[in-house]
Amino acid sequence: MKARITKKAISAAAAATLILTQTGVMSALAYDEDTADNVFTFTDTGISASDTDGEGFDISGTELTISAAGTYVVTGECAEGSITVKKGTEGVVLVLSDIRLTSSETSPLKIGKEASAEIVIEGENTLTDAEDPANEDSADETAAADFEGAAVKIKSNANVVFSGSGTLTADGSACKNGIKGGEGADITVSEGVTLNVKAVNNALSSDGSVTVNGGTLDLTADGDGLKSSPDEDDETSEAVVNINGGDITISAGDDGIVADGELNITGGNISVTSADDAIHLNGTDGGESLNILGGNITINAGDDGIHSDYLLNIGSGDGNGPTIVVENSYEGFEGAVVNLNGGSGSIRSTDDGVNAANGDLTGYSFELNITGGEWYINADGDGLDSNGDINISGGYTEVFGSSMGDNAALDYGDFNCNFNVTGGTVIGVGMSQMATSPTSGKYITFGAGGMGGGNPGGGQPGDGQEPPTKPDSDDSGFGGQEPPTKPDGDDSGFGGQEPPTKPDGDDSGFGGQEPPTKPDGGDNGFGGQGGTAITLNDGDSFEIKVADGNVLYSGKAVKSANHIVFSSEALEEGVTYYLYINGEQAAETTVGAAANLGAPPTDGQTVSTESTESSSADSSSADGTSASTSTSASASAAAATGTASASAGSSDPNPSTGSAEGIAFAALGLAAAAAVIVRKRR
């Protein structure tokens, strides 16, 4: 029979060592082991107390139960032991000081319902859950009732703070979870503490909330890394994750960080490797927002890098924001509404770079809004993609889209959607077949073809859908292989090269100069279409210059391309702009000279040969693609030749605009501007 020592009283002196913070979380003052209410030492045969006449605890064999406020120190080692803070007990400071506990019957550390405790970590500590996972659904009612499934189990509506300067290893790798909070439970991690958590299911999770203010967290899980996602029948938990600081490393077989109610990141150094989304916010009522206002975040994801079902906000708009590097992803950022307000980041994606979409929503006003920050995107699908509007009013955005011609660097929605540029700088580099341009604002393009400002297919594919199915038995998200690795010395996400840089001394995206004053009426949305065919190969350097040699853009291609769209407040109507590739002039264009719109029909494109004066009623192509009446056959044929507005590589920086060829080409441009090209929805 187990020996039992029972003392029941509340230590007022110990309770006085606690303060209640503004958030309602208990926080201990510095504890002194000499003034602790009791020190308990675990062995395989029992537990000894430094003060056997002390109060507020119960010892039964190798099981310790704390039932009163106070400061308690636990140390020692036990192969079958446990600690429990009794239900409803508040004001507990539990100091783990070089303790190693394993339990096969229950969780080695339990915080009861509606209890509050600060767990102070000193020295090296290990808590191991050795329960049989089959007990969770056991026919043995006692075994099922006793099952906790976590190295640290925090019951419903309990409140726990992890603090101190030591290390706690919470090992749930043989059973289920590492550290698990129930319905309405709140978990806070403070500065100084180190948590190493391993789990078959989830590493660090709580249905109520998880807040990380500091510390070092190493979370490894076959399921989710850091999580707040209650059961469907839980109507009280807020399901919030807040990360305000700390060094967090996550390796997850599912999502890295996930919440159902709200997810806020304001600081910290975060590294996530996940088979599914790295950072994910679920949406249930349409008002949930994922807010990343600070921190340094590095992502390797099998699916999306950062995903919100509804609202995704990055940066605060006051010049501050996070630094985000998405080294690998299916889609980089995704949300129904994506707001890039500040910060900086680079994205490498096998589909869309930034996507405003949600395949589960119909009739929703999808938007991609960029008001600030610096963003470098290398996508194998669309670079910027919105199922609705794209609005750019600030920041610096550099996009390399697919080099296969099946996606666009800049892609916005069908059905009266718009691509509005009212400020900032954006460059889109990709292939001409699906290329688009802004519908308002000043811009120039280089390369034959392109949609000239017409609407693309609105975010297909990728559009909130699942990525390609993983092979059987593959939970890695990387086709059964290790995640792709960067080349030695490469932290850029741009294939071993540094992201293209703006000219020296230029933080504006305007070639080191102050943006010129907009001419009256300069917001009419007319853009220059450079008709000269161009070719960019991976590694080519290229620049956009004005006649006096001033550089508006300088960069290096990270893949092959034949089309460039550039928009900046520095552009002026009537000025000629030159594209240089590897130091050689390759093409020129102007703002407002709508020349050479369109290209020969490509897969999914239909250009009618009927007069623009004829009926514009839609017809259907053989594959179901709608086609509208377009420009004349002669204009289409002329556009197909890739006629240039001036000779590529010409040494004359100011070619004549009064030549017969120039007049003829201007007429061609006007005819082509009337064309309506409808492409097959991807």
- Going by C-beta distance under 8 Å and a sequence separation of 6 or more, which residues neighbour residue 599? 432, 433, 448, 449, 450, 639, 640, 642
* Count, residues in the chain: 682
Mean pLDDT calculated for residue range 544-554: 95
The CA distances from residue 630 to 286, 457, 635, in Å, are: 41, 18, 10
Task: Specify the pLDDT at position 160.
Answer: 99
Residue 164 resides in a domain: yes
The answer to whether residue 602 scores a pLDDT higher than 80 is no
- Going by C-beta distance under 8 Å and a sequence separation of 6 or more, which residues neighbour residue 485? none
- H helices, E strands: number in the chain: 4, 55
Q: Which residue has the higher pLDDT, 349 or 433?
A: 349
User: What is the 3-class SS of 452-515, one letter each residue?
Assistant: CCCCCCCCCCCCCCCCCCCCCCCCCCCCCCCCCCCCCCCCCCCCCCCCCCCCCCCCCCCCCCCC
CA distance 86 to 66: 6
Cα Rg for the chain, rounded, in angstroms?
A: 31
Q: Which residue has the higher pLDDT, 461 or 243?
A: 243
Task: Specify the pLDDT at position 626.
Answer: 32
| Strand duo 38-42 + 47-49: pairing | antiparallel
CA distance 385 to 455: 12
CA distance 152 to 620: 63
Q: Is the N-terminal amide bond of 461 cis, ω within 30° of 0?
A: yes
- CA nearest neighbour of 169 among 123, 114, 138, 236: 123
Q: How do residues 483-511 score in pLDDT, each as one tens digit?
A: 334 334 444 433 444 444 444 444 433 33
Residue 194 resides in a domain: yes
According to DSSP, residue 592 is labeled T
Give 235's pLDDT tier (boundaries 50, 70, 90): confident
Residue 502 resides in a domain: no
Number of domains in the chain: 1
Give 284's pLDDT tier (boundaries 50, 70, 90): confident
Q: How do residues 52-86 score in pLDDT, each as one tens digit?
A: 999 999 999 999 999 999 999 999 999 999 999 99
Give 27's pLDDT tier (boundaries 50, 70, 90): very low
The answer to whether residue 132 scores a pLDDT higher than 90 is yes
- Going by C-beta distance under 8 Å and a sequence separation of 6 or more, which residues neighbour residue 368? 337, 338, 340, 354, 355, 356, 384, 385, 386, 388, 389, 390, 391, 412
Alpha carbon 545 to chain centroid, angstroms: 34
pTM across the whole model: 0.75
Give the chain's end-to-end CA distance (angstroms, integer): 73
CA distance 587 to 578: 6
The answer to whether residue 18 scores a pLDDT higher than 60 is no
Q: What amino acid occupies position 539?
A: G
The answer to whether residue 611 scores a pLDDT higher than 70 is no
Task: Specify the pLDDT at position 449.
Answer: 62
Alpha carbon 419 to chain centroid, angstroms: 23
% of the chain residues with pLDDT over 90: 62
CA distance 252 to 179: 15
Residue 333 resides in a domain: no
CA distance 221 to 319: 36
Task: Specify the pLDDT at position 450.
Answer: 55
Residue 37 resides in a domain: yes
Q: What angle do CA 260, 262, 265 make, to 5 degrees?
A: 125
Q: How do residues 291-306 score in pLDDT, each as one tens digit?
A: 999 999 999 999 999 9
CA distance 363 to 60: 62
Query: What kind and span of H or E run contains 662?
Result: helix 660-673
Give 679's pLDDT tier (boundaries 50, 70, 90): very low
E-strand ranges in 190-342 read 194-199, 204-206, 209-212, 216-221, 226-228, 240-243, 247-252, 257-259, 262-265, 269-274, 279-281, 289-292, 296-301, 306-308, 311-314, 323-328, 333-335, 337-340
The answer to whether residue 525 scores a pLDDT higher than 50 is no
Domain that includes residue 184, residue range: 1-201
The answer to whether residue 316 scores a pLDDT higher than 80 is yes
Task: Specify the pLDDT at position 317.
Answer: 77
Give 550's pLDDT tier (boundaries 50, 70, 90): very high
Residue 517 resides in a domain: no
Residue found by looking up tokens 């289409």 in the block: 636
Task: Specify the pLDDT at position 318.
Answer: 81
Q: What amino acid occupies position 292?
A: I
Residue 75 · residue 41 · CB < 8 Å: yes
Q: What amino acid occupies position 281?
A: L
Q: How do residues 420-446 score in pLDDT, each as one tens digit?
A: 999 999 999 999 888 888 999 999 999
The answer to whether residue 681 scores a pLDDT higher than 50 is no
Q: How do residues 172-187 score in pLDDT, each as one tens digit?
A: 999 999 999 999 999 9
The mean pLDDT of the chain is 78
Residue 343 resides in a domain: no
CA distance 386 to 106: 50
Tokens at 566, concatenated = 């550039």
Lowest-confidence segment of 300-304, 466-470, 476-480, 543-547 by average pLDDT: 476-480
- CA nearest neighbour of 662 among 480, 531, 504: 531
- Note the helical H segments in 108-214: 141-146
CA distance 143 to 491: 50
Q: Which residue has the higher pLDDT, 320 or 207?
A: 207
Mean pLDDT calculated for residue range 446-474: 48
The answer to whether residue 654 scores a pLDDT higher than 50 is no
Residue 144 resides in a domain: yes
- CA nearest neighbour of 59 among 32, 34, 31, 78: 78
